[in-house]
């Protein structure tokens, strides 16, 4: 944090210097506009002793520069010290300080406008004494120069202050619908003022003075038109470039970030460095991507809880209803043998680790054969093949899974003994519970039969039993790996079950 803070303070100081340079440059442009309008564009009425008037204007100009420039620098520095307090203290700005930071360019321009008004007043009064018409021309000329200065100063300072605004918004974000500065419409309006409105207004002013009877030669009018066109092109270019970059750079960053999101990369965020609609768009994009990340995480967690097939089925369906549908499925039930003594004699974390290793093998084997683990029940697992997604050989897949699972457990977890039962038949698969809390599960005689076979398998060599119903539904390539045995009466069932063991 210390290195970051030092770097940011250095950037903030650099931002302040750039804003100061931009103010000076805007004032120079405004002064040039006033000079061009007063000397070459607008014809002045006859005032008699022009040399004396020019000398007095130069004296007033010197006094204004000597007084107003230091005053402007002092006011800007004082304002900067107030705004940059949170930067010096290395903390998040308060909402008021954040808004002051975002509005810093506008504050500078307001002070600039006030200084132009104060500095222009003596010129207007002086020239009015010599000629009311000349005073009016002077007032309009200074107004146009001040408008150019203020428009350019705002556009340039707004661009240069973006790093400062970005840090303020990162530490203290705006509300979703909050806007803290001029928007796109105001930016475009200021660009139009500097690049088109002032030159066109000066051209109108020239026409009005000529129509009013102020003498002007063809050469003067031609020079005035050329100069106004040149000023309009140069100043308009500077204003439009500043506005275009202010708007295009964040939009380009948004477009690139959107392309990355479309490519599946959700670890994306754009820098919010504007307090207008553009900033609202940037923060809205970040919120959208954050929501996508949350949804993706929830989908991943949902899939882990209920299985990928169930999660996919739930996400693609628009409607929800409790109940289920009839399916021809196979059921595999696996249960640990001696888990009670394990829990009594082992350390709790060792029990949990062993159970996790056991369930990891179960999930791997079941998933490999196209099934899914419907639920974990303590130290047992209910696995289903053929629901919710259809399976071309659900019974065969369940039987193959049972064989592979037994071998994997004996090889990878020799200290763990597990019993496995497999059955198949018609089940009801669907959502069971309430609209507020439900789960997808399977219900039917095959589920009960698989559970009873598992209980029986705990006392049977090999600890793996399947029902004749599973064998009858399995494909021949899997059926030949099993051998039917005796018929038994399983607890809770009304008909006997012919059991089978693997060869």
| 457 band by pLDDT with thresholds 50, 70 and 90 | very high
Domain residues for the domain of 343 are 321-502
Based on the domain organization, do 42 and 179 belong to the same domain? yes
Based on the domain organization, do 63 and 171 belong to the same domain? yes
Residue 290 belongs to a domain? no
Based on the domain organization, do 248 and 328 belong to the same domain? no
Mean pLDDT of the chain: 82
Percent of the chain with pLDDT over 90: 17
Residue 453 belongs to a domain? yes
Name the residue with higher pLDDT: 16 or 435: 16
Based on the domain organization, do 99 and 189 belong to the same domain? yes
pLDDT tens digits, residue range 130-187? 888 888 888 888 888 888 888 888 888 888 888 888 888 888 887 755 555 667 777 7
Based on the domain organization, do 233 and 349 belong to the same domain? no
CATH of residue 326 = 3.30.70.1230
Percent of the chain with pLDDT over 70: 90
Name the residue with higher pLDDT: 3 or 87: 87
Residue 35 belongs to a domain? yes
pLDDT at 188 over 70: yes
Last residue of a domain, one of 215, 243, 262: 262
Based on the domain organization, do 241 and 333 belong to the same domain? no
Based on the domain organization, do 410 and 478 belong to the same domain? yes
Of 224, 182, 173, the residue nearest 202 (C-alpha): 224
Contacts for 227 with CB less than 8 Å, ≥ 6 apart: 36, 40, 41
> Beta partners for 502?
482
User: Of 108-122, 259-273, 289-303, 463-477, which gets the smallest average pLDDT?
Assistant: 289-303
Q: What is the pLDDT of residue 181?
A: 63
Q: Return d(Cα 49, Cα 374) in angstroms, integer.
A: 103
Last residue of a domain, one of 262, 295, 310: 262
What's the chain's length in residues? Answer: 503
Q: In the 8-state DSSP scheme, what is residue 275? A: S
The overall pTM is greater than 0.75: no
Based on the domain organization, do 172 and 256 belong to the same domain? yes
Pairing relationship of beta strands 417-433 and 482-488 according to DSSP bridges:
unpaired
Residue 482 belongs to a domain? yes
Average pLDDT over residues 199-214: 78
Q: What is the pLDDT of residue 176?
A: 57
pLDDT at 67 over 50: yes
User: Of 68-77, 141-150, 422-431, which gets the smallest average pLDDT?
Assistant: 68-77
Residue 271 belongs to a domain? no
Q: What is the pLDDT of residue 382?
A: 92
- Tell me how many domains the chain contains: 2
Based on the domain organization, do 445 and 342 belong to the same domain? yes
Residue 408 belongs to a domain? yes
Q: In the 8-state DSSP scheme, what is residue 175? A: P
Last residue of a domain, one of 215, 236, 262: 262
Based on the domain organization, do 331 and 240 belong to the same domain? no
Based on the domain organization, do 9 and 76 belong to the same domain? yes
Residue 283 belongs to a domain? no
Name the residue with higher pLDDT: 383 or 213: 383
Contacts for 218 with CB less than 8 Å, ≥ 6 apart: none
The answer to whether the beta carbons of residues 396 and 470 sit under 8 Å apart is: no
Residue 246 belongs to a domain? yes
CA 21 from centroid of its chain's CA atoms: 34
pLDDT at 368 over 50: yes
Based on the domain organization, do 182 and 104 belong to the same domain? yes
Average pLDDT over residues 397-404: 94
């Amino acid at each position: 944090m210390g290195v970051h803070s030092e770097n940011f303070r250095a950037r903030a100081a650099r931002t302040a210097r750039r804003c100061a340079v931009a103010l000076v440059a805007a004032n120079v442009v405004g002064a040039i506009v006033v000079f061009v309008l007063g000397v070459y564009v607008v014809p002045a009425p006859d005032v008699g002793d022009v040399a004396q008037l020019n000398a007095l204007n130069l004296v007033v100009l010197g006094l204004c520069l000597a007084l107003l420039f230091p005053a402007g620098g002092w006011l800007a520095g004082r304002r900067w010290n107030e705004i940059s307090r949170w930067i010096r203290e290395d903390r998040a700005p308060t909402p008021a300080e954040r808004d002051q930071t975002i509005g810093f360019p506008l504050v500078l321009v307001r002070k600039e406008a006030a200084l132009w008004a104060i500095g222009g007043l003596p010129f207007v009064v002086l020239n009015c004494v010599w000629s009311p018409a000349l005073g009016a021309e002077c007032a309009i000329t200074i107004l146009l120069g001040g408008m150019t200065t203020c428009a350019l100063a705002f556009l340039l300072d707004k661009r240069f202050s973006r790093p400062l605004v970005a840090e303020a918004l990162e530490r203290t974000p705006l509300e979703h619908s909050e806007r803290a500065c001029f928007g796109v419409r105001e930016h475009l309006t200021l660009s139009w003022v500097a690049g088109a409105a002032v030159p066109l207004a000066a051209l109108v002013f020239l026409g009005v003075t000529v129509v009013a009877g102020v003498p002007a030669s063809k050469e003067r009018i031609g020079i005035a038109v050329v100069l106004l066109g040149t000023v309009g092109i140069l100043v308009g270019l500077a204003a439009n470039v500043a506005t275009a970059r202010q708007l295009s750079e964040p939009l380009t960053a948004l477009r690139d970030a959107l392309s990355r999101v479309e490519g599946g990369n959700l670890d994306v965020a754009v820098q919010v460095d504007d307090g207008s609609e553009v900033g609202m768009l940037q923060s809205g994009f970040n919120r959208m991507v954050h929501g996508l990340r949350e949804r993706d995480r929830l989908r991943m967690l949902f899939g882990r809880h209920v299985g990928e097939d169930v999660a996919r089925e739930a996400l693609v369906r628009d409607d929800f209803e409790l109940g289920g549908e009839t399916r021809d499925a196979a059921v595999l039930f696996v249960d640990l043998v001696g888990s009670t003594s394990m829990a009594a004699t082992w350390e709790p974390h060792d029990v949990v680790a062993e159970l996790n290793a056991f369930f990891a093998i179960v999930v791997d084997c079941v998933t490999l054969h196209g099934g899914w683990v419907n639920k974990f029940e303590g130290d047992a697992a209910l696995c289903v093949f053929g629901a919710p997604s259809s399976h071309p050989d659900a019974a065969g897949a369940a039987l193959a899974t049972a064989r592979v699972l037994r071998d994997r457990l004996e090889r990878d977890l020799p200290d763990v003994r597990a019993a496995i039962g497999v059955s198949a038949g018609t089940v009801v698969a669907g959502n069971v519970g309430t609209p507020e809390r439900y789960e997808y599960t399977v219900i039917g005689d095959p589920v009960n039969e698989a559970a009873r076979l598992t209980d029986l398998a705990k006392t049977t060599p090999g600890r793996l039993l399947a029902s004749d119903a599973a064998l009858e539904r399995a494909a021949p390539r899997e059926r030949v790996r099993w051998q039917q045995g005796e018929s038994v009466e399983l607890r809770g069932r009304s008909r006997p079950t012919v059991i089978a063991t693997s060869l």
